[in-house]
């Protein structure tokens, strides 16, 4: 801390790396949370996972920002963290009694129908194998191209397309579509 004329201590000067990281979080933070919410069941857990990933990214920001595509690098960190969370959750997750769940807000029939449709879609999406679910979330929630998804997941674009096709076919079947 440096001293200021009035005797109080001024905060240390910020480095450009910190400013770059802050700008990255402002620009991409919401998209990272959306990605994690698509991959995990609980929105609060998704936010926690993203917060952990961003803490790790800050600690190694010179390496992250030096990557060819820092967005893809951090997206991959989020996908890996969500996968790790799922693996750990399989060992610790237990059933919840209905009485422990909060009541849903009501907003009329249209809002209730939208909530029901969304919940049905999310349940069906969560029932997909991890790779199919990840590909569909990256493609439809993050609007990434097949090549970007392939690079992010370290698979071929053909594998991305086949996982997307199988995942969508399964969703159509489970949701009663054609």
Task: Give residue for tokens 């802050």.
Answer: 22
Are both 32 and 69 inside the same structural domain? yes
Are both 124 and 77 inside the same structural domain? no
Are both 23 and 82 inside the same structural domain? yes
Last residue of a domain, one of 59, 93, 127: 93
Are both 73 and 122 inside the same structural domain? no
Q: Note down the domain range covering 153.
A: 118-178
Q: Residue 101 domain-assigned?
A: no
> Looking at the 3D structure of the chain, how many domains does it have?
2
Q: What is the mean pLDDT of each run of 10 residues along the chain (178 residues)?
A: 54 73 93 90 88 93 90 93 78 56 60 77 86 91 90 93 94 81
Q: Residue 107 domain-assigned?
A: no
pLDDT of 1: 47
Are both 21 and 65 inside the same structural domain? yes
Query: DSSP per residue over 105-168, as a string?
Result: P---HHHHHHHHHHHHHHHHHHTS-HHHHHHHIIIIIS---HHHHHHHHTS-HHHHHHHHHHHH
C-alpha distances (whole Å) from 26 to each of 2, 20, 30, 37, 86 are 28, 10, 8, 18, 27
Beta-carbon count within 10 A of 45 CB: 15
Are both 132 and 177 inside the same structural domain? yes
Q: Residue 102 domain-assigned?
A: no
Q: Residue 111 domain-assigned?
A: no
Q: Residue 53 domain-assigned?
A: yes
Q: Residue 43 domain-assigned?
A: yes
Q: Residue 8 domain-assigned?
A: no
Are both 25 and 82 inside the same structural domain? yes
CATH number of the domain that 152 lies in? 1.10.10.10
CATH number of the domain that 23 lies in? 1.10.1740
Q: Residue 159 domain-assigned?
A: yes
């Amino acid at each position: 801390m440096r001293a200021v004329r009035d005797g109080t201590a001024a905060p240390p000067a910020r480095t450009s790396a910190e400013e770059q990281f802050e700008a990255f979080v402002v620009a991409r933070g919401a998209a990272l949370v959306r990605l994690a919410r698509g991959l995990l069941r609980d929105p609060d857990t998704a936010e926690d996972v993203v917060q952990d990933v961003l803490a790790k990214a800050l600690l190694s920001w010179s390496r992250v920002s030096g990557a060819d595509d820092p967005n893809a690098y951090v997206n991959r960190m989020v996908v890996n963290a969500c996968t790790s969370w799922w693996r750990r959750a399989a060992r610790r997750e237990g059933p919840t009694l209905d009485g422990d769940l909060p009541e849903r807000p009501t907003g009329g029939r249209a809002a209730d129908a939208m909530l029901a449709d969304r919940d049905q879609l999310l349940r069906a999406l969560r029932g997909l194998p991890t790779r199919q679910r990840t590909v569909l979330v990256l493609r439809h929630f993050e609007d990434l191209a097949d090549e970007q998804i392939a690079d992010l997941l370290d698979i071929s674009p053909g594998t991305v397309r086949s996982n997307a096709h199988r995942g969508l076919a399964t969703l159509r079947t489970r949701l009663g579509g054609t």
